[in-house]
Structure 1
Amino acid sequence: MKGLLRRLSSLDADAAAAVRVIAHYQALLGGGAVDPVTLTRSTAGLAQCPAGLELADGSTVRFAPDGVALPGVPGHVSGSVELRPRGRVWLERDGADAPFDALVLEWMAIAARVGPRVPGPSPRAADPALVERVLSERESIEDRTRAVRLLGLRPALPLRVVAVAVDAESDAGVVAVTLLARSGLAATVPVATVGPLAAAMVQPGQGDDSPAAELRAVLADRAREGLPGGARSRVRFGVGGGVPPSHAATSWAQARAALRFAGDGPDEQVMDHEELGPLTLLAEVPAARLRADPGVRALAELARRDAGPSGIAALAAFCRTGSLRQAAGELHLHHSSVAARLAGVEAATGWRLNRPDGRFRAQLALYAWRLSRTD
């Protein structure tokens, strides 16, 4: 971790600071159960502002950044994260939030939830050079196997590679470590930034089960909690198949292919290569050829209109659920609003969405349109 921080500091001061936040909480969790006093005092010192924790029984713990306990209830809360079923964590910063307050709060919440039952392995920032060596097809099997061991992975167990993409304002590696930590995977998960993406190597202790369900659950939790500021980065996951660690490049290619199918809807942010099945063959079609398809051209033109993105979101939800009311529930809209948006899509594309063949054409065109934008 120290070596990684030195490398990050020379490249990106913000990335290094974010990794230090994560390292702080992973050090706490690695030492066993984290009691509320230790967690709150250390958070206040890390954030350099008062911090608080409300327990499930309604009692509160508050500390100043110098480690002095604070009595009573907070007068001003600058940011907070709810705990389930009850409780919350918060910061009491005067003035504008610091750049990493959202990340501090999210990791404080992680520690508050999992402190009494800390799992053995934990997602962590890994040396990018080692990760890239494992994912490379150019390296020898001996070098890849050695890198696997240095990352704390077991050469005899299958692994899955997860590709993570976030918006341009966030570091993909930091977001990936945070979300994977929240997912509670009982797995060794080294994470590193590889180009514009993050690569996470998930190696469950029992077989090669996909982490897709856990990732979808944690994204749903984040949406319900309404995390502050930058903690709600737009994020998408592609999950590769289970392979021997010496063939991780295959899973990495599958993960990146699955990522191209991911959308912005709550049920489309995580795409599993194995779940996609034969649809993955679409990813082998050149993007230029996809863009030439009339259905793809119609969606691209629709997306450029003012109301186009909302129409495409309604189309995606309707194709996925097959029900106007279920699509409306997913989008938190009245069903008449969704119907009006779908009517606009039908007028722009010529599809008849009340017919199975029309929905099938629309779903294929949606996938092809996404692939055409992520060459």
Structure 2
Amino acid sequence: MLELITQLSGLDTSAEAAVRIIAAFDTLIEARVPAGALTRATAALAQCTAGIHRPDHSVIRFTSEGRQLEGVHATSSLTASWFDGHSVWLERSGPPHPLDGLVLERCAMAARILLTPPNRLAPTDLADPALIELLISKSPSPEDRARAISLLGLDPSRPLRMVAVSTVDQQNPGEAAKTLVGCGLPAAKLVRVATIGTVAAVVLQPRSNISAIPSNLRGNLHVSPLGWKAGMGAVSGIVAGVGSAVLPHQAPQSWMQGRLALKFSVARTESAVIDHDDLGALALLADIPSQRLLANADVAALAEFATTEHGRQDLAALAALCKTGSLRQAAVLLHMHHSTIATRIARTEQKVGWDLGSSGGVLRASIALQALHFVHSPMEEPDHSLGSH
């Protein structure tokens, strides 16, 4: 262990260095080291004094040379805390080193695992952003990705699906993702959650029936075919996109698909969770520049509707008709009288010149609506360069 820590002191901030730092702390966790040994190893790894504070325990501090200190240093350059006043820190007189954040993050994670009572730990709290980024990035070497797969506890021979989770109401995406998957997924073998930018990345590797993940997630939000049932989904702003099932070494592909599907999601509706496998040809919209979509006459006409309250109501009626295929079902979906829906559809037909009583007119409207939603989606554009440097 000491030999590994010595080797790490000369590493740069590459993905290899991140993986080795993670491996060092995983070794400490596997050895079930006490708080003192964890603090001493952290100080040696960071090459500066490190400390751990636990309520009802003495503060533990070690220098990088392994000498134990008394008391709490007045100025800590980096600190990480978790529940009930637990914290770890690094004491560095100058500016933080490039790897300090990762070292402290891994120290805090190890401390949570080793020093927290088992009944206070939640599996989704143990995900590591650095490992998740290595898993879904296109840039790491096959060896680095294989190492990340192993450290995340994934079975390299069993398919997984990546899920991109975000919110429309300023919720923390990581917490939203834990809420979404924490309701219980049948046959779930492993769940890992990490926040990357403004989107949470969720790794799901169930023991069986991997195709049921989207419907299970919708069930967790209490979605019904014609709207929301009473429950979390009625007030939730959580949205998610689910990538295709792939083997772990192909996780970047599933992640990109999940990010793309996320752009088609609509909060507080049955479309809050979108399965990329269900998009079909609609996924081709991602290859069309937004400005080109907006220049299309059909999309531009619907975009003009959205500028007024009456126009937005007409758009809602049009979307309901396209979804259900009938005026009466559209009225049920929107909780309105069918005559009101009929009036709004007639007004829309007059404005845009489409025959919404024909299958061709409804198809045309459906494509324009999807394009308009895609263009104005608040979700981030898929990150095609994650992890490339």
Report the TM range for the smaller structure's normalisation: 0.5 to 0.7
Match of 1:220 among 219, 222, 234: 222
Report Cα offsets for 1:348-368 as digits up to 9, x if no partner.
Answer: 322221111000000101111
The match for 2:80 is: 6
The match for 2:152 is: 151
The match for 2:361 is: 358
Q: Distance in 2 between matches of 1:139 and 1:218?
A: 34
Moved over 6 A (4+): 7-11
The match for 1:97 is: none
The match for 1:126 is: 127
Q: Distance in 2 between matches of 1:158 and 1:304?
A: 45
Q: Distance in 2 between matches of 1:167 and 1:25?
A: 35
CA displacement at 1:127 relative to structure 2: 1.7
Q: 1:312 to 1:218 in 2, by over 3 A?
A: farther
CA displacement at 1:177 relative to structure 2: 0.9
CA displacement at 1:227 relative to structure 2: 4.7
CA displacement at 1:145 relative to structure 2: 1.9
The match for 2:192 is: 190
CA displacement at 1:168 relative to structure 2: 4.1
Q: 1:216 to 1:341 in 2, by over 3 A?
A: farther
CA displacement at 1:199 relative to structure 2: 1.2
Cα contact 2:184–2:220 (8 A) shared by 1: yes
Matches within 5 A, 1:72-83: none
The match for 2:201 is: 199
Match of 1:307, SS state, is: helix
TM-align CA RMSD? 3.3
Q: 1:199 to 1:355 in 2, by over 3 A?
A: same
CA displacement at 1:7 relative to structure 2: 7.5
CA displacement at 1:323 relative to structure 2: 1.6
Report Cα offsets for 1:111-168 as digits up to 9, x if no partner.
Answer: xxxxxxxxxxx65562222111111001112211221222222222111111112114
Match of 1:342 among 319, 341, 345: 345
Cα contact 2:324–2:330 (8 A) shared by 1: yes
Aligned-pair identity (%) = 42
Question: Comparing 321-330 with 343-352, which one deviates more in the overlay?
Answer: 343-352
Cα contact 1:162–1:238 (8 A) shared by 2: yes
Q: Distance in 2 between matches of 1:255 and 1:193?
A: 14
Q: 1:181 to 1:297 in 2, by over 3 A?
A: same
CA displacement at 1:219 relative to structure 2: 2.0
User: Which of 1 and 2 has greater Rg?
Assistant: 2
CA displacement at 1:26 relative to structure 2: 9.3
Q: What is the letter of the counterpart of residue 270 of structure 2?
A: D
Q: Distance in 1 between matches of 2:80 and 2:351?
A: 53
| Structure 1: runs of 5 or more not aligned | 31-121
Q: Distance in 1 between matches of 2:296 and 2:126?
A: 41
Match of 2:200, SS state, is: strand
Q: What is the letter of the counterpart of residue 190 of structure 1?
A: R
TM-score with structure 2 length normalisation? 0.62
Q: Distance in 1 between matches of 2:223 and 2:286?
A: 30
Matches within 5 A, 1:89-108: none
Q: Distance in 1 between matches of 2:129 and 2:143?
A: 18
| Structure 2: runs of 5 or more not aligned | 1-28, 30-51, 53-78, 90-100, 102-107, 382-389
Q: Distance in 1 between matches of 2:119 and 2:337?
A: 47
Q: 1:256 to 1:153 in 2, by over 3 A?
A: same
